[in-house]
Structure 1
Amino acid sequence: MAESIEIPDCHYPKEPILVSPITPTPTHTLYLSNLDDQKFLRFTSKYLYVFRKSIAVETLAASLSRVLVEYYPLAGRVRAGAGNDGEKLEVDCNGEGALLVEAHVDLTADRFLQGGRKPNRSWRKLLYRVEEQSFVDTPPLVIQVTRLSCGGMILCTAINHCVCDAIAAAQFLQAWGLFTSKPDAHLPMNAFHDRSILKPREPLRIEFSHPEFSSPPPQENLSDFILSQPLAPVSVTFTGAQVLRLKKQCEPSVKCTSFEVLAWHIWRSWIKALEPPPSLRTKLLFSMSVRKKLEPELPNGYFGNGFIMACAETSVEELISSNSNCAIFKSLQEAKNRVDDGYVRSMIDLLEERRVKPDMSSTLVISPLTKVGFEELDFGEGKPLHMGYLVSEIYCLLLPVVGDLNAFTMLMSVPQGIAERFHQYCTEDLDDAKNVDAEN
């Protein structure tokens, strides 16, 4: 596996600035739904873009000020609500502003891309660190624009996940790009901020078992091992031809999507690399949009978290068996088909009754960030050379490949001792193998 590049120290010519909406915006407390403020979502999503040509920070600040009129919760502050011992979060829509900082670094876009796209700790220099006491005290939108020595730029955005999900974040970023390239443009879609459509029912009705939250027997646990040693990032890019080859491992009678077959392949490779006992029960949680699953559907432009974690479950023995491929595909499809209006409402009610977290004991979490438009961001000087994530986590990200709608890049961190083995399992028996890892 290729090593990723070490980022030199950044130079900050100016102090960070707060960018507020250019015109007055509603001042109120925004309710966050139970899908928004789940404890496992209390982090910022750190998106990274590499552009061939830079845009003046003054221009970006001006367009950001305009787009924050529409997306004003990002200019507010997340806070603990009254009651519930501060467990419930809300957004104080006060127009305080998003944090924007300019930096310079002695690095070219080509060097960054050639040096490997797997994050390491030095990449954190590309996002300004806010010295606050807690996650709640940090502005929900922090942006660093890093000018490169070649005239390009790296743009990093940290967006509070409790405020919005990936679909909504991509919607905001595209709107920002549009206002930058065409200041007089009209947005093709307005943001919808009211989360009351996702309030719990009265009385609460928990009508499903929700295996994503159920706890296993005490002895069934991989998380202790996963967290017992340093983590190492693994990045694999799957071409469209390789995804097609994976699909051919399933019977013709079982039609599976590219996501389903990649989820199965990554889950299986992860388990094989970890080598747990065959009898262990393992889960796959994958984020799934419910925008079109609810009755009524969430409005177009819904700016919040409109997804849940669907859950498939099996034994290690069945997952790694070559005779069980189709059964695993079917279990993934059943997990998706289980998600309807009743299931989502039941989960919202469960989260109201108990502030439960997903079971992570022997679980792989996959979050697909493809097909939502992240790679379409354009500030007027062309689409990005690369779109990715600033950090690598123990959950799996499926990222878009700029210029190739059929390809997927997987990024996740695993225990250092199994990183090479996990990479090998992900890439074995695939044709065009020399292109599998983005930087081999």
Structure 2
Amino acid sequence: MSKSIQIPDCYYPKEPALVTPSGQTPDHTIYLSNLDDQIFLRFSIKYLYLFKRRVGVESLKASLSKVLTVYYPLAGRLKASSENGEKLELDCNSEGALFAEACVSISVDQFLEASERPNISWRKLLYRVEAESFISIPPLVIQVTHLGCGGMILCTAISHCLCDGIGTAQFLQAWAHITTKPDTTLPIYPFHGRHMLKPRNPTKVTSSHPEFTYPASQEHISVLSQFLQCQQLVPVSATFTSSQILKIKKLCIPSLKCTSFEALAAHVWRSWAMALDLPPSLQVKLLFSVNARNKLKPGLPRGFYGNGFVLACAESLVDQLVSTNGHYSVKLIKEAKESVSDEKVRSVIDLLEKRKGKPDLSASLVISQWSKLGLEDLDFGEGRAHHMGPLASEIYCIFFPVIGDFYGFTVLMSVPEKAAAKFEQVLKVY
């Protein structure tokens, strides 16, 4: 198994503080679209960055205060809608983002030597907000942790109800830009209106949505659920270089033109089914996000700041998935991706208006794509990050970037302990 560093307790020299926008911001309530307000998005996306040289905390706070004038929703608070208690909306009240400063007795090199997969101790690197519910937590929480060697770790938690990975990268790049070039304009300004994603009147569910459809038979599903719940989950991590991904593509016979994501997603999906030793007759799904910004007609404005993705769903019997080569699974993934159109997106929005559906996770692998978003290029003036990744390993799978290899991917997910060694082994067969 890959290495993981244990983080000692952090020392907080002062109480965390709220950083508010430096300028005047609109005082209004923002409508959250049905894509924002999905139940499964009611959590914060947590990122970890490791820098060899620290940036002054006062400088980071000042630039954060300035960028929050433009990205003012991140300084607001989520609340239940007055019209519908089940729906959330955003109160842009400029209450502020929570900023914590800490120190810990590790070095950059120590972290890099054992940073292939997170463990529970990494959670110490992000200040824990004591709150009654998710909506009581500030949409943006930041911790800067000073390392003994002069480096720093930056951890951020951004509410998924407010934005997706594209929006997260857009905000972080804007913050870094203002830190390094305080007197220049931003390359991209956020567009906060979400009215383009309102449901139709009357609503029309015109497409099939297997991502929200639960199977009629629960027999195999209960077996899988018991298998997943009765064992401790452990993280498995594997890094794929561009040359290794090319080898995976060559296993697709007859050859099929595909992206690196499609090839690797197919490989991970098959490896997951093999490692869990799932029943051959079980129908399994692969769920992954597809950017809908340019699928809509008209497309969403440049800088659109909200969730602009829908889930695509590929389905297969386990027997077919594991007994065939990559061609079969890659083709399923390509077809699922190509099925996302303007009408499909509108149909999802209308479906979510009719009922608060949750994705079918009963026998599904979910892949979240963090690569190719610019997340790894963050530079606050003292050099780019030497490590970028999640703060924790979840049961869903993350593809995150490899520092120094634009075409590489690191795969991270948690699987039952008995399946971990086999999953790691099968991932390396290409």
Q: Quote the residue 1:309 is aligned against.
A: 311
Q: Quote the residue 1:34 is aligned against.
A: 34
Q: Which amino acid aligns with 1:261?
A: A
Asked whether the equivalents of residues 255 and 327 of structure 2 are also in contact (C-alpha less than 8 Å), the reply is: no
Structure 1 runs, 4 residues or longer, greater than 6 Å off: none
RMSD over aligned CA atoms reads 0.9
Q: In structure 1, what is the Cα distance between the partners aligned to 2:358 and 2:220? A: 17
Q: In structure 1, what is the Cα distance between the partners aligned to 2:2 and 2:410? A: 15
Instruction: Give the Å deviation of 1:253.
Output: 4.5
Asked whether the equivalents of residues 76 and 91 of structure 1 are also in contact (C-alpha less than 8 Å), the reply is: yes
Asked whether the equivalents of residues 223 and 360 of structure 1 are also in contact (C-alpha less than 8 Å), the reply is: no
Q: Quote the residue 1:425 is aligned against.
A: 426
Q: Which amino acid aligns with 2:318?
A: V
Q: Quote the residue 1:437 is aligned against.
A: none
Instruction: Give the Å deviation of 1:252.
Output: 5.2
Instruction: Give the Å deviation of 1:369.
Output: 0.5
SS in 1 for 2:135: coil
User: Is 2:107 the counterpart of 1:108?
Assistant: yes
Q: Quote the residue 1:55 is aligned against.
A: 55
1:94-173 alignment runs, 5 A limit: 94-173=93-172
Q: Please, what TM-score do these two structures have when normalized by structure 1?
A: 0.96
Change (3 A) 1:406 1:194: same
Instruction: Give the Å deviation of 1:220.
Output: 3.1
Change (3 A) 1:363 1:60: same
Q: Quote the residue 2:339 is aligned against.
A: 338
Higher mean displacement: 253-262 or 126-135: 253-262
Deviations 1:387-419 (A, max 9, x none): 100011000000001111111000111111111
Q: Quote the residue 2:68 is aligned against.
A: 68
Instruction: Give the Å deviation of 1:230.
Output: 1.3
Q: Please, what TM-score do these two structures have when normalized by structure 2?
A: 0.98
Percent of pairs identical after alignment?
A: 59
Asked whether the equivalents of residues 378 and 384 of structure 1 are also in contact (C-alpha less than 8 Å), the reply is: yes
Q: In structure 2, what is the Cα distance between the partners aligned to 1:117 and 1:287? A: 24
Deviations 1:281-335 (A, max 9, x none): 000000111011000101110110000110000000010013x532221111110
User: Is 2:178 the counterpart of 1:174?
Assistant: no
Q: Quote the residue 2:365 is aligned against.
A: 364
User: Is 2:208 the counterpart of 1:212?
Assistant: no
Q: In structure 2, what is the Cα distance between the partners aligned to 1:146 and 1:227? A: 34
Instruction: Give the Å deviation of 1:117.
Output: 2.6
Q: In structure 2, what is the Cα distance between the partners aligned to 1:252 and 1:97? A: 55
Q: In structure 1, what is the Cα distance between the partners aligned to 2:88 and 2:160? A: 12
1:287-298 alignment runs, 5 A limit: 287-298=289-300
Q: Quote the residue 1:399 is aligned against.
A: 400
Instruction: Give the Å deviation of 1:228.
Output: 2.2
SS in 2 for 1:410: strand
Q: In structure 2, what is the Cα distance between the partners aligned to 1:90 and 1:70? A: 19
Instruction: Give the Å deviation of 1:223.
Output: 3.0
Q: In structure 2, what is the Cα distance between the partners aligned to 1:21 and 1:44? A: 21
- Structure 1: tracts of 5 or more residues without a match: 430-440
Q: Which amino acid aligns with 1:184?
A: D
Deviations 1:34-65 (A, max 9, x none): 00010001100000000010011111000000
Deviations 1:135-193 (A, max 9, x none): 00000000000000010000000000000000000000000001111111210111000
Q: Which amino acid aligns with 1:391?
A: A
Q: Quote the residue 1:415 is aligned against.
A: 416
Q: In structure 2, what is the Cα distance between the partners aligned to 1:387 and 1:293? A: 29
- Structure 2: tracts of 5 or more residues without a match: none
Q: In structure 2, what is the Cα distance between the partners aligned to 1:123 and 1:250? A: 38
Deviations 1:247-292 (A, max 9, x none): 0011355111100110010011100011111111000000111011
